[in-house]
Chain A
Amino acid sequence: MECGPVDAKDRSAEPTAPVTFLFWNIHKKMILDTVVQLAHNEAVDVLILAESIISTAEMVAALSSSQARHYYYAGAGVSDHIQVYTRFPTRLCRPIWDEGGLSAYGLSPPVGQDIVFIAAHLSSKLHQTDDEQALACSRLREFIDRVEQEQGHHRTVLIGDLNMDPFESGLTGSEGLHAIMDRQIAGRNIRRVKGLNRHFFYNPMWSLLGDLSPGPPGTYYYPGSGIVELFWHTFDQVLLRPELIYSFRPETLRVIDKSQQLRLVTAKGRPDKNHGSDHLPISLTLHL
């Protein structure tokens, strides 16, 4: 693996086209109509659902109804903790590897460069300590390294419910995901840490934390009674390898609380668990 800064080559001479991703942990809710409306409103190309108990056949039929471009279920052959639906033919969006809450897919858009996206639903804080979560991220890093080695590139997007906030050590540490808040630093590509090279991720979700961000303060609201309570968490995140920073359009990254007529939060601005999920969806568009 090469050291030094990421190749910031000018891709203006190459054709690119937008690809819109949307991830939502729907908390085992039967909210088919809401998911479909959201996907159509946001013109989603790759829809990733966690904790979905909606039948994939039902979802494909509903997503494709009245649409010039059909949706396909891309998750055939992998475990069902994550469901991936796509408007790309399945030969262009294929499962690569599936392991312990992670599903890796290869995406070859008709126009633009191939990427890998990894859909994640990591274990809840209810079942493990913060330390255990952080240590488990080293396995996640190894999984990503294996996938990238096999695919021969580092154009990787990680998207999902990580059940950790962006500032937790599993996310930021070099032995975990090594995901940082600054594109310029992440653009160095690799950091040498105690004799070993560690690839960066860029985590744009840092820019969406708190009530001064353009959308909701987080993606998940938990009003606990402990001594330390954040109330809002941003468990649902998207991380980008430096190679994809130039494909990322910051203005497209959103925590979605409303989409046209669809409202996913209560009057107090918190996730509406009665009509939606306890998590809010996130979306972004990459020009690949």
Chain B
Amino acid sequence: MNSESLWGDLTDLHRDKSPKQLLEEQAQLLNEIVQGLLCATVEIAIHGSNMSVNLIIVAPALNNYRYSVLSIFYDPANMYPVHVKNATVESSPLVKCSSESEFVECLRVILSSSVVRKAIGSLISHSEK
């Protein structure tokens, strides 16, 4: 007798990407664009039931100089809300994002900001000299 799946139809399950995965994707995208000149990476720390993930840009040609872009804080069990700290602007407040779409929009604002663009430009320029 064939076993019957009692799980129902799982093929159309919507699997949300975790905030950490979204950051890793953005790090990977930057790495493809800058072609090894810089290395964007995420660093993870666990604090009790919460997780923090830092997005860092490392410049290997500059003695592994590190530029902090942002940090996020969330409970991996629930994923949202996620709190975002823009590390490129001093004293910037924590921004609460209640959903993936809010989080993506928040990332877009920070990553495409003129401050981050200038910082990346400066790191590339110094690395190429």
Q: Does A91 contact B (CB under 8 A)?
A: yes
In this complex, how many residues of chain A approach chain B with their Cβ under 8 Å: the count is 19
**Given A16-B90, A110-B59, A110-B126, A88 contacting B65 (CB threshold 8 A):** yes
Tell whether B67 is near chain A: CB-to-CB under 8 Å: yes
B64 A15 Cβ-Cβ under 8 A? no
Pick from B11-19, B28-36, B95-103, B112-120 the stretch touching chain A: B112-120
Give residues 1-38 of A contacting B (CB, 8 Å).
12-17
Q: Are B62 and A110 interface neighbours, CB within 8 A?
A: yes
The A interface is mostly helix, strand or loop, or mixed, namely: loop
A76 interface residue per 8 A CB criterion: no
Partner of A70, one of B63, B66, B116, B122: B63
Contact B62 A68 (CB under 8 A): no
Q: Given the known A-B contacts A14-B118, A17-B67, A87-B63, are A111 and B90 also in contact in the complex, defined by CB atoms under 8 Å?
A: no
Give Cα A88–Cα B64 distance, bound, in whole angstroms: 9
In the complex, the answer to whether A89 meets B63 with C-beta atoms within 8 Å is yes
Chain B residue numbers with a CB within 8 Å of A287 are 90
Bound-complex Cα distance A264 to B88 (A): 34
CB nearest to A45 among chain B residues: B65
B65 touches A110 (CB 8 A): yes
Q: A12-B115, A89-B62, A108-B126 are in contact. List 11 more A-B contacts (CB 8 A).
A: A14-B118, A15-B115, A15-B122, A16-B90, A87-B65, A88-B62, A92-B126, A110-B59, A110-B122, A110-B123, A111-B67
A–B Cβ pairs within 8 angstroms, 21 of them: A12-B90, A12-B115, A14-B115, A14-B118, A15-B88, A15-B115, A15-B119, A16-B90, A68-B64, A69-B65, A72-B63, A88-B63, A89-B62, A89-B63, A92-B62, A108-B126, A110-B59, A110-B67, A110-B122, A110-B127, A111-B122
